[in-house]
Amino acid sequence: MQNKYAIYFIASVIATGAHPLVSHGQQTPPAKPVGSTVVRLSEFIIPPQPIALIDMRLMPDGQVQYQTMMPIAGRVATVDDAAKQRGTGALPAGVCLYTATVDRQGQPGVVTSSVVGQRDRRIKIAEGMPLEWAVWNINSKDGPSRLPYGGGYERMPEPALPASSVKVSFAASGKGFNYATYSLYPVYNKLTRSFDSTSFQYRNQREELTLLRQENMAKLIRYIPVEGDTRRSAGRVIQLAPNRFEGVATHYVEDDKNASLRAVSFLTFDEAGNLLTDQRVNFQYNRKLLYRVPVYDPSGKVVGTFNVFDSGGGKKETRDPQDNRFAVVVTDEKGAIWKQFDWTNGEGSQLAVMPIYMSRRGNELLAYINNQQKLLKPVEENWLFDATGKAALLNSMPYSALLEKSTIVGMINSGNRVGWYNHTPTQFVDAFTDANGDVWVLKQRETEGPIVETTTAASPVPGPAKGIIGFANKLNAIAGQASPSLPNNQVVTEIGTNYGDLFAMQFDKDMKLKHQTVIAMSPSSEQVRFKRINRAAGVDYVFANSVNTHLRFRNGELTVEQLMPVDGIRPGAVEVDNFVVDEAAGKVYVLSMQPKKLVEGKLSVYSLD
């Protein structure tokens, strides 16, 4: 649950290129709703356990439906079974699911409530008898003593997953420097979200799958994945489409130590592990992959990759005699080679050609890059690559001018003012082209940090513990209940990426930067989720962060505002969206909790106009 003193300072600000508004820590009022409704989040006046939102959706008839869950003590019982509680302080043994609707006029609709949990096998119940849940740890005046029984934990709702819940990397058999034994295969890192009946929470887990491993190894003998920043980024795989992933590998040729530097393969796989394409590219000189980024069309769709290869070293005759010449390979949306050419820039430094954003328009390629070959005088450059691969420098801007073109909204960069306008490194979020031809690119700040992932046993088996805890575990095993002991965890920690502030970058049709707005976002190990709404008047974004940031793009200007009420807090985990968008009506519905009224929420309605 989010702290109610989270970032409240994101509010309305007009971002234009005239004079930057620098406002570190500025607090301004959030957006004003056009309506709001006080709603209940539970049937209980005083909830015995914390309440969390687990689902929110817009129904076909325009009603907003939301569902909450709350751990609850008690047991399954028949109608004539008193099921009296023995002792005090019973632990939760089930989950109360509360579902309600609100119509477009703000009137509450249908409410249903039931409990899911495992039946106590010690209680003999005849087949076909109607069942209820006898509620414990609650006074009659504070809530119902009986609730409908909805079945076992398999009836818990399936949580939604991010649009991109699969990450792919390359791996190879073999060890050490005996590359003759290497064979390549893809590794699928799949995100799953399941309910843990021990902690009464939904848990994120990642499962590594090696689909069609033997078949791919037989096809890709002596293929070696290019290195990534971590084990899980080997091959530097980029998702081209929902069911197409492209990565890069080199080749081992016996008695030719330069072979892996003279040729690479662009390999594409689908989600099932099938090898779709193997596009081999040969180089005149030794080369090593330096930069690899997606290529986008004007609407922000991935249409390929842009790959820059630097000198691969070796003896003089194997190296490119021109230090500032780079080999470039561009693929298309299916992984085929779209263009291959040489690009000359800078004075031989790898930092001279750092791509920030690549846009393909017809047979031309527009590039916005960061040239840091002179560390004290870096520049931002715009390049155009024509149909033949010929490069033309369109514009060069001193990096110091970036500060003049930047606007702050909120306490960005965790309060650190040093380099707050620096958009490298950042991860792409989305992009679009407005009615004026300006290109808007949204990116999120990246910082290095540890990633801790936990794999949890779904139903831990209680062992022969000592004393009272061991005795309680034995009773739970007999009753068919999950033990309240800690689950078996496998913790994996490695250096990874944290995501923070949002950058809204405005370019003209030639990819010349006009302005950028840096918007505060709380750090997270996952990229922020969002909903994009394309309207006749412009484009809107609503983000699933702690304050539901709303971006409104109209006539070349950006307005940033907060959709979370000042006195509101998120009703549950950040993995669950607490808003829905009614595109037909041009409205956003945001559900928040009231900090002093634990069972009341507020459904606020905001207009996109």
| Residues 20-72 pLDDT 10s | 333 333 344 589 999 999 999 999 998 889 999 999 999 999 999 999 999 99
Q: What is the pLDDT of residue 454?
A: 42
Which is nearest to 31 in space by CA: 12, 53, 9? 12
**Coil/strand/helix, residue 493:** strand
pLDDT at position 499 over 50 = yes
Q: Quick one: CA torsion of 516, 520, 522, 526, rounded to 10 degrees? A: -20
Q: Are 251 and 222 in contact (CB under 8 A)?
A: yes
**Percent with pLDDT over 70 in the chain:** 87
Nearest to 554 by CA among 578, 536, 542, 567: 536
Amino acid occupying residue 377 = K
Domain residue limits, the chain = 1-26+36-74+95-115, 164-344, 417-447+499-568
Q: What is the pLDDT of residue 412?
A: 85
Provide the pLDDT confidence category of residue 466 given band limits of 50, 70 and 90. Answer: very low
In the 8-state DSSP scheme, what is residue 87?
A: S
**C-alpha torsion 9→13→15→16, nearest 10:** -150
Query: Does residue 246 surpass a pLDDT of 50?
Result: yes
> Residues 446-470: what's their mean pLDDT?
44
Per-residue pLDDT tens for 76-100?
999 888 888 877 778 999 999 999 9
pLDDT band at residue 204 using 50, 70 and 90 as cut-offs: confident
Q: Are 204 and 191 in contact (CB under 8 A)?
A: yes
In a 3-state reduction of DSSP, which class is residue 476? Answer: helix
Give 529's strand partners: none
Q: Which of 185, 167, 183 is nearest to 267 (CA)?
A: 185
Question: In the predicted model, is pLDDT for residue 153 greater than 80?
Answer: yes
Look at residue 549 in the predicted model and tell me its pLDDT: 93
Average pLDDT over residues 279-308: 96
Q: Is pLDDT above 90 for 511?
A: yes
| Per-residue confidence (pLDDT) for residue 608, from 0 to 100 | 94
pLDDT, averaged across the chain: 85
Q: Which residue has the higher pLDDT, 8 or 55?
A: 55
Instruction: Give the percent of the chain with pLDDT over 90.
Output: 59
- Compute the average pLDDT of residues 432-441: 95
- How far is it, in rounded angstroms, from Cα 501 to Cα 311? 34
pLDDT for 449 equals: 65
Mean of pLDDT values over 516-537: 91
Confidence at residue 161, expressed as pLDDT on a 0 to 100 scale: 75
